[in-house]
Amino acid sequence: MTRSMTRPMKVVAAMSGGVDSAVAAARAAEAGHDVTGIHLALSRNPQSHRTGARGCCTIEDANDARRAADVIGIPFYVWDLSERFHDDVVEDFRTEYLAGRTPNPCLRCNEKIKFAAVLDRARALGYDAVATGHYARLETAPDGTVEMHRAEDAAKDQSYVLGVLTQQQLAHSMFPLGDSPKSLVRREAAARGLLVAEKPDSHDICFVADGDTAGWLHDKLGTAPGTFVDHESGDVLGTHDGAFTYTVGQRRGLRLGRPAADGRPRYVLDIEPVSGTVTVGPREALTVDRLEGISARWCGTPPTSTLDCTVQLRAHGEEHRAVITVDGDRVDVDLLDPAQGIAPGQSAVVYDGTRVVGSCTITATSRVPAA
Protein backbone atom coordinates (compact mmCIF):
# COMPACT_ATOMS: atom_id res chain seq x y z
CA MET A 1 0.00 0.00 0.00
CA THR A 2 1.34 3.38 -0.87
CA ARG A 3 1.65 5.54 2.16
CA SER A 4 0.17 8.67 0.57
CA MET A 5 -3.35 7.33 1.10
CA THR A 6 -3.11 6.46 4.77
CA ARG A 7 -4.49 9.61 6.39
CA PRO A 8 -5.53 13.07 5.28
CA MET A 9 -2.65 15.50 5.51
CA LYS A 10 -1.92 19.13 4.76
CA VAL A 11 0.16 18.98 1.62
CA VAL A 12 2.12 21.49 -0.42
CA ALA A 13 2.09 20.42 -4.07
CA ALA A 14 5.07 21.85 -5.94
CA MET A 15 3.63 22.77 -9.33
CA SER A 16 6.09 23.54 -12.10
CA GLY A 17 3.44 24.24 -14.70
CA GLY A 18 3.99 20.85 -16.33
CA VAL A 19 1.65 17.92 -16.69
CA ASP A 20 3.26 15.64 -14.09
CA SER A 21 3.12 17.99 -11.13
CA ALA A 22 -0.43 19.03 -12.09
CA VAL A 23 -1.69 15.44 -12.04
CA ALA A 24 0.27 14.76 -8.85
CA ALA A 25 -1.48 17.69 -7.17
CA ALA A 26 -4.87 16.56 -8.48
CA ARG A 27 -4.34 13.03 -7.18
CA ALA A 28 -3.22 14.27 -3.78
CA ALA A 29 -6.35 16.44 -3.56
CA GLU A 30 -8.60 13.63 -4.72
CA ALA A 31 -7.09 11.31 -2.13
CA GLY A 32 -8.57 13.64 0.46
CA HIS A 33 -5.54 15.67 1.41
CA ASP A 34 -5.76 19.39 2.03
CA VAL A 35 -3.58 20.51 -0.88
CA THR A 36 -2.08 23.92 -1.59
CA GLY A 37 -0.39 24.49 -4.95
CA ILE A 38 2.95 26.25 -4.86
CA HIS A 39 4.94 27.38 -7.86
CA LEU A 40 8.59 27.92 -7.13
CA ALA A 41 9.99 31.05 -8.69
CA LEU A 42 13.60 30.02 -9.18
CA SER A 43 14.83 32.79 -11.43
CA ARG A 44 14.97 36.46 -10.58
CA ASN A 45 14.53 37.34 -14.22
CA PRO A 46 12.24 34.71 -15.68
CA GLN A 47 11.64 34.61 -19.39
CA SER A 48 8.10 35.30 -20.53
CA HIS A 49 7.64 31.95 -22.22
CA ARG A 50 9.57 28.84 -22.93
CA THR A 51 10.47 27.43 -26.26
CA GLY A 52 9.94 23.73 -26.89
CA ALA A 53 11.11 21.35 -24.23
CA ARG A 54 13.83 23.56 -22.85
CA GLY A 55 13.86 25.05 -19.42
CA CYS A 56 10.98 25.85 -17.14
CA CYS A 57 10.17 28.53 -14.58
CA THR A 58 8.99 31.04 -17.12
CA ILE A 59 6.06 33.31 -16.40
CA GLU A 60 4.05 31.16 -18.78
CA ASP A 61 4.88 28.11 -16.66
CA ALA A 62 3.72 29.94 -13.53
CA ASN A 63 0.46 30.77 -15.30
CA ASP A 64 0.03 27.16 -16.42
CA ALA A 65 0.51 26.04 -12.82
CA ARG A 66 -2.02 28.60 -11.62
CA ARG A 67 -4.59 27.45 -14.17
CA ALA A 68 -4.04 23.82 -13.21
CA ALA A 69 -4.61 24.73 -9.55
CA ASP A 70 -7.84 26.50 -10.55
CA VAL A 71 -9.05 23.41 -12.40
CA ILE A 72 -8.13 21.11 -9.51
CA GLY A 73 -9.75 23.56 -7.13
CA ILE A 74 -6.88 24.22 -4.74
CA PRO A 75 -5.36 27.48 -3.52
CA PHE A 76 -2.22 28.58 -5.30
CA TYR A 77 0.74 30.77 -4.42
CA VAL A 78 4.15 31.58 -5.82
CA TRP A 79 7.12 31.17 -3.51
CA ASP A 80 10.24 33.08 -4.36
CA LEU A 81 13.20 30.74 -3.91
CA SER A 82 15.35 32.42 -6.51
CA GLU A 83 18.04 33.39 -4.03
CA ARG A 84 18.39 29.93 -2.51
CA PHE A 85 18.28 28.37 -5.97
CA HIS A 86 20.96 30.69 -7.22
CA ASP A 87 23.24 30.05 -4.23
CA ASP A 88 22.68 26.31 -3.80
CA VAL A 89 22.11 25.08 -7.35
CA VAL A 90 23.31 27.55 -9.99
CA GLU A 91 26.46 28.55 -8.12
CA ASP A 92 27.18 24.93 -7.24
CA PHE A 93 26.83 24.02 -10.91
CA ARG A 94 29.17 26.81 -11.95
CA THR A 95 31.85 26.09 -9.37
CA GLU A 96 31.70 22.34 -9.94
CA TYR A 97 32.34 22.81 -13.65
CA LEU A 98 35.08 25.29 -12.82
CA ALA A 99 36.69 22.54 -10.74
CA GLY A 100 36.56 20.15 -13.68
CA ARG A 101 33.62 18.12 -12.38
CA THR A 102 30.24 17.25 -13.91
CA PRO A 103 27.43 17.96 -11.45
CA ASN A 104 23.76 17.05 -11.72
CA PRO A 105 21.82 20.20 -10.78
CA CYS A 106 18.49 18.35 -10.54
CA LEU A 107 19.84 16.25 -7.68
CA ARG A 108 21.17 19.35 -6.01
CA CYS A 109 17.81 21.09 -6.43
CA ASN A 110 15.98 18.16 -4.85
CA GLU A 111 18.49 18.00 -2.02
CA LYS A 112 18.65 21.71 -1.26
CA ILE A 113 15.47 23.28 -2.59
CA LYS A 114 12.43 21.08 -3.14
CA PHE A 115 12.91 18.72 -0.22
CA ALA A 116 14.81 21.13 2.00
CA ALA A 117 13.99 24.83 1.66
CA VAL A 118 10.46 24.19 0.43
CA LEU A 119 9.79 21.29 2.80
CA ASP A 120 11.18 23.22 5.77
CA ARG A 121 9.05 26.23 4.99
CA ALA A 122 5.98 24.08 4.40
CA ARG A 123 6.51 22.23 7.69
CA ALA A 124 6.96 25.47 9.58
CA LEU A 125 3.77 26.83 8.03
CA GLY A 126 1.83 23.83 9.28
CA TYR A 127 2.02 21.39 6.36
CA ASP A 128 2.81 17.72 6.72
CA ALA A 129 4.31 16.93 3.34
CA VAL A 130 5.48 18.10 -0.05
CA ALA A 131 4.03 16.36 -3.12
CA THR A 132 5.80 16.45 -6.46
CA GLY A 133 5.31 14.94 -9.90
CA HIS A 134 8.46 12.81 -9.68
CA TYR A 135 8.18 9.26 -10.89
CA ALA A 136 9.20 7.20 -7.87
CA ARG A 137 7.31 5.05 -5.37
CA LEU A 138 7.23 5.38 -1.61
CA GLU A 139 6.32 2.42 0.57
CA THR A 140 6.17 2.05 4.29
CA ALA A 141 8.16 -0.91 5.56
CA PRO A 142 6.82 -3.01 8.45
CA ASP A 143 9.11 -1.14 10.85
CA GLY A 144 7.62 2.18 9.77
CA THR A 145 10.57 3.22 7.63
CA VAL A 146 9.66 4.93 4.38
CA GLU A 147 11.30 3.24 1.43
CA MET A 148 11.75 4.79 -1.98
CA HIS A 149 11.52 2.49 -5.00
CA ARG A 150 11.86 2.87 -8.71
CA ALA A 151 8.71 3.95 -10.53
CA GLU A 152 6.52 1.43 -12.32
CA ASP A 153 7.25 3.22 -15.59
CA ALA A 154 10.92 2.33 -16.02
CA ALA A 155 11.34 4.80 -18.87
CA LYS A 156 10.17 7.66 -16.65
CA ASP A 157 11.75 6.51 -13.38
CA GLN A 158 13.24 9.51 -11.56
CA SER A 159 14.43 7.81 -8.40
CA TYR A 160 18.00 8.63 -9.48
CA VAL A 161 17.54 12.38 -8.97
CA LEU A 162 15.83 11.68 -5.63
CA GLY A 163 18.68 9.49 -4.36
CA VAL A 164 19.89 12.33 -2.13
CA LEU A 165 16.78 12.29 0.08
CA THR A 166 17.12 11.22 3.69
CA GLN A 167 14.58 9.28 5.72
CA GLN A 168 13.49 12.52 7.35
CA GLN A 169 12.80 14.05 3.92
CA LEU A 170 11.12 10.93 2.53
CA ALA A 171 8.85 10.74 5.56
CA HIS A 172 7.40 14.09 4.49
CA SER A 173 7.31 13.50 0.74
CA MET A 174 4.61 12.27 -1.58
CA PHE A 175 5.05 11.06 -5.16
CA PRO A 176 1.54 10.35 -6.44
CA LEU A 177 2.71 9.33 -9.93
CA GLY A 178 5.03 6.49 -8.94
CA ASP A 179 2.59 3.75 -9.90
CA SER A 180 1.57 5.16 -13.28
CA PRO A 181 2.96 5.12 -16.78
CA LYS A 182 3.46 8.53 -18.33
CA SER A 183 0.93 7.85 -21.07
CA LEU A 184 -1.75 7.30 -18.44
CA VAL A 185 -0.77 10.51 -16.67
CA ARG A 186 -1.24 12.48 -19.87
CA ARG A 187 -4.62 10.82 -20.53
CA GLU A 188 -5.65 11.52 -16.96
CA ALA A 189 -4.62 15.16 -17.29
CA ALA A 190 -6.80 15.48 -20.38
CA ALA A 191 -9.72 13.78 -18.64
CA ARG A 192 -9.35 16.14 -15.70
CA GLY A 193 -9.52 19.12 -18.04
CA LEU A 194 -5.93 20.17 -17.36
CA LEU A 195 -4.73 22.19 -20.32
CA VAL A 196 -1.13 21.12 -19.74
CA ALA A 197 -2.01 17.54 -20.82
CA GLU A 198 -0.19 18.00 -24.12
CA LYS A 199 2.63 20.19 -22.87
CA PRO A 200 6.03 18.76 -23.83
CA ASP A 201 8.21 17.31 -21.09
CA SER A 202 11.01 19.55 -19.99
CA HIS A 203 14.56 18.39 -20.59
CA ASP A 204 17.99 19.84 -20.10
CA ILE A 205 18.94 22.20 -17.34
CA CYS A 206 16.16 24.59 -16.41
CA PHE A 207 18.37 27.62 -15.84
CA VAL A 208 20.21 27.19 -19.13
CA ALA A 209 17.26 28.39 -21.15
CA ASP A 210 18.65 27.80 -24.63
CA GLY A 211 20.16 24.41 -23.79
CA ASP A 212 23.67 25.60 -24.63
CA THR A 213 25.49 24.60 -21.46
CA ALA A 214 28.95 25.30 -22.88
CA GLY A 215 27.81 28.79 -23.93
CA TRP A 216 26.30 29.39 -20.50
CA LEU A 217 29.53 28.31 -18.80
CA HIS A 218 31.61 30.55 -21.05
CA ASP A 219 29.27 33.39 -20.22
CA LYS A 220 29.68 32.82 -16.46
CA LEU A 221 33.31 31.74 -16.38
CA GLY A 222 34.87 33.61 -19.27
CA THR A 223 37.69 31.95 -21.15
CA ALA A 224 40.59 30.01 -19.70
CA PRO A 225 42.72 28.70 -22.55
CA GLY A 226 44.30 25.30 -22.12
CA THR A 227 45.47 22.30 -24.11
CA PHE A 228 44.26 18.90 -25.23
CA VAL A 229 46.82 16.22 -24.41
CA ASP A 230 47.05 12.63 -25.63
CA HIS A 231 46.77 10.24 -22.70
CA GLU A 232 49.62 7.95 -23.79
CA SER A 233 52.13 10.09 -25.64
CA GLY A 234 51.47 13.29 -23.71
CA ASP A 235 51.52 15.16 -27.02
CA VAL A 236 49.63 18.43 -27.16
CA LEU A 237 46.88 17.90 -29.72
CA GLY A 238 45.25 21.29 -29.68
CA THR A 239 43.95 24.17 -27.57
CA HIS A 240 40.59 25.15 -26.13
CA ASP A 241 38.94 28.18 -24.47
CA GLY A 242 38.12 26.58 -21.16
CA ALA A 243 38.44 23.11 -19.69
CA PHE A 244 35.19 23.68 -17.79
CA THR A 245 33.07 23.29 -20.90
CA TYR A 246 34.18 19.67 -21.37
CA THR A 247 32.99 16.62 -19.59
CA VAL A 248 34.55 13.19 -19.19
CA GLY A 249 33.30 10.86 -21.91
CA GLN A 250 32.65 13.69 -24.35
CA ARG A 251 33.53 12.96 -27.99
CA ARG A 252 31.83 15.69 -29.95
CA GLY A 253 32.97 19.27 -30.26
CA LEU A 254 36.64 18.62 -29.39
CA ARG A 255 37.75 19.97 -32.81
CA LEU A 256 41.10 18.23 -32.74
CA GLY A 257 42.68 18.83 -36.10
CA ARG A 258 44.94 15.81 -36.10
CA PRO A 259 43.15 12.43 -36.20
CA ALA A 260 44.32 9.74 -33.82
CA ALA A 261 47.04 7.48 -35.16
CA ASP A 262 44.66 4.56 -35.39
CA GLY A 263 41.92 6.77 -36.87
CA ARG A 264 39.49 6.03 -34.04
CA PRO A 265 37.51 8.74 -32.26
CA ARG A 266 38.99 10.32 -29.16
CA TYR A 267 37.16 11.01 -25.94
CA VAL A 268 37.76 13.26 -22.96
CA LEU A 269 39.35 11.07 -20.30
CA ASP A 270 40.30 13.59 -17.67
CA ILE A 271 40.09 17.28 -16.90
CA GLU A 272 42.71 19.07 -14.85
CA PRO A 273 41.11 22.41 -13.99
CA VAL A 274 44.15 24.28 -12.63
CA SER A 275 46.36 23.84 -15.68
CA GLY A 276 43.36 23.60 -18.00
CA THR A 277 44.63 20.32 -19.41
CA VAL A 278 42.04 18.10 -21.08
CA THR A 279 43.36 14.56 -21.57
CA VAL A 280 41.90 12.62 -24.48
CA GLY A 281 42.20 9.03 -25.61
CA PRO A 282 40.36 6.05 -27.06
CA ARG A 283 37.01 4.81 -25.89
CA GLU A 284 38.34 1.82 -23.99
CA ALA A 285 40.37 4.13 -21.75
CA LEU A 286 37.05 5.44 -20.45
CA THR A 287 36.19 2.14 -18.88
CA VAL A 288 36.31 2.18 -15.10
CA ASP A 289 35.47 -0.40 -12.49
CA ARG A 290 36.28 1.45 -9.29
CA LEU A 291 34.73 4.65 -8.01
CA GLU A 292 35.35 6.70 -4.93
CA GLY A 293 32.56 8.80 -3.55
CA ILE A 294 31.96 11.30 -0.77
CA SER A 295 28.96 13.14 0.68
CA ALA A 296 27.09 9.88 1.18
CA ARG A 297 23.39 10.31 1.81
CA TRP A 298 21.25 7.39 2.87
CA CYS A 299 17.50 7.03 2.46
CA GLY A 300 17.32 4.89 5.59
CA THR A 301 19.76 3.18 7.90
CA PRO A 302 23.26 3.49 6.38
CA PRO A 303 24.72 0.21 5.13
CA THR A 304 27.33 -1.22 7.44
CA SER A 305 30.61 -2.10 5.77
CA THR A 306 29.99 -3.78 2.41
CA LEU A 307 26.80 -4.23 0.42
CA ASP A 308 26.04 -6.16 -2.74
CA CYS A 309 23.91 -3.81 -4.76
CA THR A 310 23.49 -2.08 -8.08
CA VAL A 311 24.46 1.48 -8.83
CA GLN A 312 23.17 3.96 -11.39
CA LEU A 313 25.70 6.58 -12.41
CA ARG A 314 23.67 9.05 -14.46
CA ALA A 315 20.04 10.02 -14.98
CA HIS A 316 18.41 7.41 -17.20
CA GLY A 317 21.68 5.44 -17.13
CA GLU A 318 21.90 1.68 -16.83
CA GLU A 319 22.36 -0.26 -13.64
CA HIS A 320 25.75 -1.75 -12.79
CA ARG A 321 26.15 -4.61 -10.37
CA ALA A 322 28.47 -3.46 -7.64
CA VAL A 323 29.82 -3.96 -4.17
CA ILE A 324 30.03 -0.84 -2.06
CA THR A 325 32.09 -0.30 1.05
CA VAL A 326 30.90 2.43 3.34
CA ASP A 327 33.17 4.32 5.67
CA GLY A 328 31.29 7.21 7.24
CA ASP A 329 30.85 9.88 4.58
CA ARG A 330 32.96 7.95 2.09
CA VAL A 331 31.87 5.19 -0.24
CA ASP A 332 34.06 2.91 -2.37
CA VAL A 333 32.27 1.33 -5.29
CA ASP A 334 33.60 -1.79 -7.01
CA LEU A 335 31.75 -2.23 -10.27
CA LEU A 336 31.17 -5.83 -11.36
CA ASP A 337 29.86 -4.39 -14.63
CA PRO A 338 32.39 -1.77 -15.70
CA ALA A 339 31.12 1.67 -16.71
CA GLN A 340 32.25 4.17 -19.29
CA GLY A 341 32.75 7.91 -19.25
CA ILE A 342 32.11 8.49 -15.59
CA ALA A 343 33.07 11.98 -14.45
CA PRO A 344 33.87 13.24 -10.99
CA GLY A 345 30.91 15.24 -9.76
CA GLN A 346 28.36 12.76 -11.02
CA SER A 347 26.26 10.99 -8.44
CA ALA A 348 26.24 7.27 -7.88
CA VAL A 349 22.84 6.17 -6.65
CA VAL A 350 22.78 2.84 -4.88
CA TYR A 351 19.88 0.39 -5.30
CA ASP A 352 18.91 -2.83 -3.60
CA GLY A 353 16.56 -4.29 -6.19
CA THR A 354 14.07 -1.50 -6.84
CA ARG A 355 14.77 0.17 -3.52
CA VAL A 356 16.98 3.26 -3.36
CA VAL A 357 19.60 2.80 -0.67
CA GLY A 358 21.32 6.17 -1.00
CA SER A 359 23.86 8.07 -3.01
CA CYS A 360 27.27 9.61 -3.06
CA THR A 361 29.12 12.11 -5.21
CA ILE A 362 31.92 10.59 -7.29
CA THR A 363 35.32 12.09 -6.60
CA ALA A 364 37.60 9.69 -8.45
CA THR A 365 37.43 6.80 -10.87
CA SER A 366 39.96 4.13 -11.69
CA ARG A 367 40.42 0.90 -13.53
CA VAL A 368 41.81 -2.06 -11.70
CA PRO A 369 44.59 -3.34 -13.97
CA ALA A 370 43.92 -6.73 -15.45
CA ALA A 371 45.48 -9.39 -13.27
Partner 1 sequence: MTHTVDAAARRIAYLDHAATTPMVPEAVEAMTALLSTTGNANSLHGSGREARRVVEESRERIAASIGARPGEVVFTSGGTESDNLAVKGLFWDRRAQDPERMRVLSTGVEHHAVLDPLTWLEDEGGAEVELLPVDAQGALVVDALADSIARAPATVGLVTVMWANNEVGTLQPVEDVVSLAHRYDIPVHTDAVQAVGAVPVDFAAGDLDALTLTAHKLGGPYGVGALVVRRDLSATPLLHGGGQERGIRAGTIDVPAIAGFAAAVELAVKRRTEHAERMAALRDDLVSRVLVEVPDARLNGNPVDRLPGNAHLSFPGCEGDSLLMLLDHRGIECSTGSACSAGVPQPSHVLLAMGRDEAVARSSLRFTLGHTSTAADVDALVEAIAPVVERARAAAR
Which one from 57, 206, 309, 360 is the annotated catalytic residue? 206
- Annotated catalytic, 360? no
- Interatomic CA distance for residues 9 and 37, integer angstroms: 14
Q: Report the nearest approach of partner 1 to the CB of residue 7 (Å).
A: 17
Query: Which residues are registered as beta bridge partners of 12?
Result: 36, 130
- Interatomic CA distance for residues 73 and 75, integer angstroms: 7
Report 12-51 residues binding partner 1 (CB under 8 A): 29-30, 36, 41, 44-46
Q: Interacting stretch for partner 1, rule CB under 8 A, among 69-77, 166-174, 212-220, 355-363? A: 69-77
Nearest to 339 by CA among 315, 358, 320, 355: 320
* Amino acid found at 101: R
138, 173 in Cβ contact below 8 A?
yes
Residue from 82, 227, 277, 340 touching partner 1 (CB under 8 A): that is: 82
- Interatomic CA distance for residues 300 and 142, integer angstroms: 13
- Interatomic CA distance for residues 310 and 291, integer angstroms: 13
Number of residues interacting with partner 1: please give it, by CB under 8 A: 24
3 state SS of 147: strand
Which runs of consecutive H residues, i.e. helices, occur in 1-143? 19-30, 59-72, 82-85, 91-98, 105-109, 118-124
Who's near 206: CB < 8 A, 6+ residues apart?
Answer: 42, 55, 56, 57, 105
Residue from 9, 15, 31, 72 touching partner 1 (CB under 8 A): that is: 72
Site string for partner 1, 122-141 (x = CB under 8 A): --xxx---------------
Q: Report the nearest approach of partner 1 to the CB of residue 121 (Å).
A: 5
Which one from 56, 106, 109, 360 is the annotated catalytic residue? 109
Question: Does 221 contact partner 1 by CB under 8 A?
Answer: no
- Annotated catalytic, 206? yes
Name which of 82 and 287 has its Cβ closer to partner 1: 82
Residue from 121, 231, 283, 367 touching partner 1 (CB under 8 A): that is: 121
Q: Report the nearest approach of partner 1 to the CB of residue 47 (Å).
A: 9
Q: Report the nearest approach of partner 1 to the CB of residue 132 (Å).
A: 19
Q: Report the nearest approach of partner 1 to the CB of residue 368 (Å).
A: 49
- Interatomic CA distance for residues 286 and 299, integer angstroms: 30
In the complex, the residues that contact partner 1 under the rule CB under 8 A are 29-30, 36, 41, 44-46, 59, 62, 71-75, 77-80, 82, 120-121, 124-126
